[in-house]
Structure 1
Amino acid sequence: MLVAPHVSAAARTLSPPAGVHRCPPGRPFHTYEAAPAFAREPREELFLLAVGNFVSQQTFYESARGRDDRYARLVGQLAVEDPVWTAGLLRWLRTEGNMRTASLVGAATYVRARLTAGACDGPSNRSVIDSVLQRADEPGELLAHWTSAYGRRVPQPVKRGIADAVRRLYSSRALLKYDTASRAFRLGDVLNLVHAAPDPQKPWQDALFRYALDRRHHPDQALVPASDRLLTAHQALLAVPADERRAVVTGPDGAERLASAGMTWEALAGWLHGPMDAAVWEAVIPSMGPMALVRNLRNFDEAGVSDEVAAQVAARIADPAEVARSRQFPFRYLAAHRHAPSPRWSAPLEQALGHSLANVPALPGRTLILVDRSDSMFWDTVSERSKLRRADAAAVFGAALAMRAEHADLVEFGSSNAVVRFQAGEPVLEVLKRFHSLGGTETAKAVRTHYRGHDRVLIVTDEQASHHCGCHGPTEPVPSETPVYTWNLAGYQPAHAPAGPYRHTFGGLTDTAFRLIGLIEAGRAARWPWTTGPA
């Protein structure tokens, strides 16, 4: 089954048609805290839900089942009504948006809805399936989701899209990493079901595919292709007697042998049948990726990794090129900072967090930044696999943006509100210590209290304003020609304010979002991130 991804929500400015947000006539529409709310146009609602939601995630105001059902309903509706837009959204979610589960579940829902409706216009179902599969374990995960949701019969467009992805993604290294007994669909199962032919440009794939099938269905007879150096080296390493393995790993060429055999740190622990002590970690650290390093900092400390090796780890963590390549959210580094108590990681994690915010603009003029610190922001985490609260993720972005602006007033709000003081150039993690938990969500009161003719207003929130707000929403005190940017972190259905030429809503939190402020204020037309035409 699909699990919540290590990935990120993505951000995007939304400009739905005028009049889309409104106090609906007839049936009243409210936020979850009883304030008058504004209905979203379906594309906007789906976008915000997709980038602000991890599949099967319980939230403060909405159950996991309710959110999943709403996501499926919106994808199914728009797959038929606007297939080009929806296919673009799903492709972008998995690539630039880096939202793995939402894109895979969405692609299955898209194809199911279009097959049921008999729709033939727009992008092919096959191409949509192929577009969301970006990692070698995902063909099997999509099949596992499809069979659990819709039954064992898999339609041809799904099979063909998966076969296209298999030719792109299956390699020897992928087989070692992802072809494990814990998978509902192993690589051989996928090949057996979709009948993918090897890529003519990859002559080695024929032997690899046959080995994957034998490894799954006839393990006693499976022979590693003699021409495959990685699999051959891996097989030789596995053949080392159990009582000699630790000596091999910690020997002078241990790190090289592990790397050449494609041995991951996860597999290494089981292969050794023993503890991952400092010497073992030091052998595998050179072949670990940057985020694997970040997730294991506490383990390095507990094992007693040397200061010399720790310095090498710290240098990689803080390397701006590595940070850019990892495409991680800034709050991943905040979570690591809180999880790894050793002071030797504080500086590199702070540097990495700074690098991950490299695209935050230095906004000119005066900016009011409001960060929601209400109860619901503390109840919800950024994903089910993270302990980091949305309140902290919001504070990271608010503080970073304020510190980059020409002149900013940074405010935390809930049932009360207060200015958060900061110094230019001080670490973002230090500024975070000055935020508090503030109860309810009285957004309008915070705006009225602190808006003093600023050039723009930015609100980072889940939009669930309390009933103290009027029908025109918490942004009413701000002149209509002054831009107000709202970051919706949760993807809830009700909007706290109406849309308009100077009112923009973003979904999720990444540094990508901040670049759009400059584009909007420069007068460029707002666009969906996967299109070149207007939204």
Structure 2
Amino acid sequence: MARFNTRSARPQPVSRVTSTGRILRTFEGGRGRERDTRSELFLLAVSHFVSQQTFYESGADRDDRFTRLVRELAVTDPAWTAGLLGWLRGEGNLRTASIVGAAEYVKARLDASATDGPSNRQVVDSVLRRPDEPGELLAYWTSRYGRAVPKPVKRGIADAVRRLYDGRALLKYDTASKGYRFGDILNLVHAAPDPGKPWQGELFRYALDRRHHPDTAVPPATVPVLTAHRELMALPAGERRAVVTSPGGAERLAAAGMTWEALAGWLQGPMDKAAWEAVIPSMGTMALVRNLRNFDEAGVSDEVAEQVAARIADPVEVARSRQFPFRYLAAYQHAPSLRWSYALERALGHSLANVPALPGRTLVLVDRSGSMFCSRLSDRSQLNRADAAAIFGTALALRAADADLVEFGTRSNRVRFQRGESVLKILGRFGDLGGTNTTEAVRKHYRRHHRVLIVTDEQYTHHRLGDPTEQVPADVPVYTWNLAGHRAGHGPSGTGNRHTFGGLSDAAFRMVPLLEAARDADWPWTA
């Protein structure tokens, strides 16, 4: 007689963020769970803006914890750590954490004389995706470990330089505000030109001349954008605005690689309607989103605004820009005009492309406690983790077949919405709810749902009934989406229908359908 292999028997799916079984305390005194080293680093890395303070941890403490974990795993598990760092800069879209991580990876392996796994050179190259990042890595290394730069770091940077340096990169990023100019980097790493780019040798020589002999440096004719830029810069100040506003002005600015940041200084005057309308066609999508307020204040025409809105809402442009969803919320909050609202709503939707349409009944709980409000996402953003949690929770609820959306803190409330409503409109219904009584929120609102998703920093208050996940039957999946990366989790993770994800993009949502199909959810760079 069959005892185990019955019709109801199913394999238990496994997720990679795993608890060790050791009990810790959350910062609010709740009964927390320790995660293994890889899981702790992953959750910290995907939510870590370097030197950024959270409600519970100082920026220095988070940086130290990040560095310690990277250095430990660089030696004990180099292949996994190298995969994390490359993915973090690529799909994860976190520049600074990946650059710091790569430097610490190399330092730890050199100190340990480790030779197994991916090479130090490969790891350095893998995290450098933008032309200013070789200088960022060098600045970090020399500020922390001195001016002696080891060969693997130099060679990895040289590989990146060959990929990244061209005329437009030189104009945009090789500025006097940088401690390491392109010429300094070329001097240090001795990068040979790419044989497939016959113009690159002359570009490198010009970068060196531009750094050391700026008054006599002449841009090479083989890089037309540099000569076009030189011609514009040579124009008398009194003639420049006429060039911008004349027919073909926009095309001339684009051909010369003139960025919007440089244009104001070159004009030696205000960025008025004509100036913005001339430079808008050559601006990237991210720059457009960040300047909507400036466009309105300058009085940019409705015709040009329609073109901007079309680009912002274009799914291809959204995918290419790789902006986090909360960037569109920030733009919506700061732009004075309503003419951008629909475009930002569509762009936000495109940026949440990975959010699945979950079947059955789903309970979505969004953490709106004080610690979520007091932790800004970065020094350059006024948005906080509470905003990010509301975006992701709302998107989940809107796409699910049947969802209850709940905000919680000291108390908890249903957030009412209708299918097809604007995400941005629903966000206005969320409040600030004080403490973090996650356990009571789950207990109060769970009503035989098929799954529970909690978007939170996991730092719940001690509760006599136990942790939040214990309020749900063992055969019902509970997914925790951690937006802060603190050490202690509010429940177990890894097996038994209890799973934790993390990060500030929607990529983690891909794991939910996998787990519910009884398939293991691997690390995102190996999935």
Give TM class, smaller chain. Answer: over 0.9
Distance 1:156 1:102 in 2: 22
Aligned match for 1:351, one of 324, 346, 355: 346
8 Å contact kept, 2:92–2:505: no
Question: 5 Å matches for 1:249-288?
Answer: 249-288=244-283
Give CA deviations for 1:149-202 in whole Å, capped at 9, x if unaligned: 110100011001111111111111110110000011010000000011111111
How much does 1:512 deviate? 1.8
Aligned match for 2:157, one of 162, 177, 185: 162
- Tell me what 1:332 maps to: 327
Distance 2:352 2:30 in 1: 34
Which residue identity lines up with residue 475 of structure 2 in the other structure? E
Give CA deviations for 1:305-354 in whole Å, capped at 9, x if unaligned: 11111111111111122112211111111110001021111121112112
Which residue identity lines up with residue 498 of structure 1 in the other structure? P
How much does 1:362 deviate? 0.9
Q: Which range is displaced more, 140-149 or 224-233? A: 224-233
Distance 1:210 1:529 in 2: 41
8 Å contact kept, 1:473–1:498: no
Question: 5 Å matches for 1:43-442?
Answer: 43-442=38-437
Which residue identity lines up with residue 15 of structure 1 in the other structure? R
How much does 1:21 deviate? 3.6
Question: 5 Å matches for 1:501-520?
Answer: 501-520=496-515
Distance 1:94 1:432 in 2: 29
Matched, 1:445 2:446: no
8 Å contact kept, 1:21–1:41: no
8 Å contact kept, 2:17–2:500: no
Q: Which range is displaced more, 135-144 or 506-515? A: 506-515
- Tell me what 1:489 maps to: 483
Distance 1:357 1:37 in 2: 30
Distance 2:15 2:190 in 1: 41
How much does 1:448 deviate? 0.6
Give CA deviations for 1:29-74 in whole Å, capped at 9, x if unaligned: 2000011111110000000000111000011000000000000000
Which residue identity lines up with residue 222 of structure 2 in the other structure? S
- Tell me what 2:469 maps to: 475
Distance 2:472 2:114 in 1: 45
Change (3 A) 1:241 1:16: closer
8 Å contact kept, 2:415–2:430: yes
How much does 1:508 deviate? 1.3
Change (3 A) 1:173 1:351: same
Q: SS in structure 1 opposite 2:476?
A: coil
Give CA deviations for 1:65-122 in whole Å, capped at 9, x if unaligned: 0000000000000000000000000000001111100000000000001101111111
Unmatched 5+ residue regions in structure 2? 1-13
Distance 1:515 1:191 in 2: 41
TM-score (norm 2): 0.96
8 Å contact kept, 1:249–1:255: yes
8 Å contact kept, 1:443–1:469: no
Distance 1:366 1:343 in 2: 35
Give CA deviations for 1:5-24 in whole Å, capped at 9, x if unaligned: xxxxxxxx94345x61432x
How much does 1:469 deviate? 5.6
- Tell me what 2:16 maps to: 15
8 Å contact kept, 2:17–2:501: no
- Tell me what 2:492 maps to: 498
Q: SS in structure 1 opposite 2:124?
A: helix
Distance 2:310 2:125 in 1: 37
Give CA deviations for 1:122-150 in whole Å, capped at 9, x if unaligned: 11111110111111111111000000011
Which residue identity lines up with residue 176 of structure 1 in the other structure? L
Q: SS in structure 1 opposite 2:404?
A: strand
Give CA deviations for 1:368-422 in whole Å, capped at 9, x if unaligned: 0000010001111121110012111111111111011111011111110011111
Distance 2:263 2:110 in 1: 44
Question: What is the aligned length?
Answer: 513
How much does 1:501 deviate? 2.8
Give CA deviations for 1:286-307 in whole Å, capped at 9, x if unaligned: 0001111110000011111111
